[in-house]
Amino acid sequence: MAGRRLIRRLAAAALALVMAAGPAHAADPPVPPRAGDAVRVAQFNAAMARKGAGVLIRDIARGDPQVLAVAEIILRVRPDILLINELDADPEGRALAGFRNLLAEGVAGLDGLDYAHAHQGPQNVGIPSGHDLDGDGRSMGPGDAFGFGRFPGQYAMAVLSRFPLGAVRSFARLRWAAMPGARRPVKPDGTPFHADAAWQAMRLSSKAHWIVPVAIEGGTLHLLAAHPTPPVFDGPEDRNGRRNADEIRLIREILGAGGDWLADDTGRPGGLGPADLVVVAGDLNADPDGGDGIRAEIAALLADPRLQDPAPASPGAPGGQTADWPDAPGGPISLRVDYVLPSTGFEVLGAGVFWPGRGDPLARLTGLRKRRPASSDHRLVWVDLRPR
């Protein structure tokens, strides 16, 4: 363990020398301090998915520069509750445990942060379905898993919390065909894209939809976490665009208790109650004003009367964008796809996106390094809340 800590500290020092425009403390932090009784909730697509099983475990142990940059961003924002997208899962939970240890130790001279509670339950990524789901005539590729993945756990998500967690409700196994009015993909000639057996087996959630109860002062915060599939990488059948929209719709159904068709993985019916304190968090891969996808569904979520939109912004993207793809086909594109949306039972005390402006020394954490994102192509989004 001591050797690993030394490696991490040496890697952190090297990263600072190579990337920093000045000392790490040269600029005021882009995240203002929270009110004393506020709970800071954050969502971050950390892009820590790797191409092979176990690679992330190795990268965390070695102090990979991208992992250290992700950790530094988290330690600068210091959320109490954090949903991480794209953190590979493994059967023993070694990657998650290693990253929690890294955060507890601290990086870049920052004090550590102990997330004593965590959840990374079963998810659909990389789990073989036994069916041809992507239409390539095979049934064992990454596109044929219940959620896209080259191995079980790739692109998984996890929840970290300073506060105790209750029993998590998962909707990962909910079948897409069970949703009334499901947007079943069809070919240009109007026939179903998937065979009936495949359609009946498909799961709606590409990763998982979770209700994670968190015990905070003043009540229980129910974190409604999800990471819908990107609405691209498909064909004229728009299978990913339709699935993305219905995954976002599932969030609204869980918010509204749903109908008789809605049940979690244990068979418990319904979703959340009208008096529950809820925070919807996730990389939803949808922007109501741009990009691909069925925009009406994300617009409906943002307009849901049970929620409030803090509309966070940043010096790096005053328009509120949360993701940046400089090499996108057709030119650079920035969109708002990452969200933290509290229910109306909360008072919003602050909100923002960690995206330092150009010229800020901390822009080294969100810029490019050797033509790749120093941390992630997404930005961490945070909201400070207090129960009313």
Question: Would you place residue 21 in the very low, low, confident or very high pLDDT band (cuts 50, 70, 90)?
Answer: very low
Residue 69: count of CB within 10 angstroms of its CB: 25
Task: Give me the half-sphere count of Cα atoms (radius 13 Å) on the Cβ side of residue 314.
Answer: 28
Q: Is pLDDT of 195 > 50? A: yes
Residue 259: the pLDDT is 82
Percent of the chain residues past pLDDT 70, beyond the cut: 92
Q: What is the pLDDT of residue 339?
A: 98
- Nearest residue to 70 via CA among 60, 62, 57, 61: 60
Which residues, in sequence order, are CB contacts of 62 under 8 Å at separation 6+? Answer: 7, 11
Domain positions in the chain = 2-387
Structure tokens at 214: 């968190």
Partners of 343 in beta bridges: 307
Give the mean model confidence (pLDDT) for residues 178-203. Answer: 97
* Predicted confidence band of residue 268 (pLDDT cuts 50, 70, 90): very high
User: What is the spatial distance between Cα 195 and Cα 203, in angstroms, rounded to a whole number?
Assistant: 14
Q: Is pLDDT of 329 > 70?
A: yes
Q: Are strands 39-48 and 81-87 parallel, antiparallel or unpaired?
A: parallel
- Place 257 in a pLDDT band, splitting at 50, 70 and 90: low
Rounded Cα–Cα distance for residues 225 and 119 (Å):
11
Give yes or no for residue 5 having a pLDDT over 60: no
Provide the β-strand partners of residue 82.
Answer: 42, 160
For 83-122, give one letter per residue: b (16+ CB within 10 A) or e: bbbbbbbbeeebbbebbbbbbebbbbebeebebebbbbbe
Give the CATH number of domain 2-387: 3.60.10.10
pLDDT tens string 285-320: 999 999 899 999 999 999 999 999 999 999 998 889
In this model, does residue 155 exceed pLDDT 70?
Answer: yes
State the Cα–Cα distance between residues 267 and 131, nearest whole angstrom: 24
| pLDDT bucket at 375, cuts 50 / 70 / 90 | very high
Phi, psi of 336 (to 5 degrees): -95, 110
User: What is the reported pLDDT for 24?
Assistant: 36
Written in H, E and C, the secondary structure of 14-30 is HHHHHHCCCCCCCCCCC
What is the mean predicted confidence (pLDDT) over 337-355? 97
The three state secondary structure string of 167-195 is CCEECCCCEHHHCCCCCCCECCCCCECCC
| pLDDT-based confidence at residue 32 (cuts at 50, 70, 90) | confident
Please say if the pLDDT value at position 63 is more than 90.
yes
Output the pLDDT for position 30: 65
Indicate whether 243 pLDDT > 80: yes
Q: What is the mean pLDDT of the chain?
A: 91
Q: The tokens of 369 are what?
A: 């390094």
pLDDT (mean) for 364-379: 92
Tens digit of pLDDT for each residue in 110-133? 999 999 999 999 999 999 999 999
| Interval 216-240: pLDDT, tens | 998 999 999 999 999 999 999 999 9
Residue 10 has pLDDT above 70, yes or no: no
Tell me which range, 180-194, 254-268, 329-343, is most confidently predicted by mean pLDDT. Answer: 180-194
pLDDT in tens, 69-82: 999 999 999 999 99
Q: Which residues contact 126 (CB under 8 A, 6 or more apart)?
A: 142, 145, 147, 148, 149, 150, 151, 152, 153, 154, 155
Q: What is the pLDDT of residue 12?
A: 43
Q: Would the pTM count as exceeding 0.85?
A: yes
Torsions phi, psi of 256, nearest 5?
Answer: -100, 15
Q: Tell me the sheet residues that pair with 128.
A: 145
Q: How confident is the model at residue 141 (pLDDT cuts 50, 70, 90)?
A: very high
Distance CA 77, CA 71 (A): 10
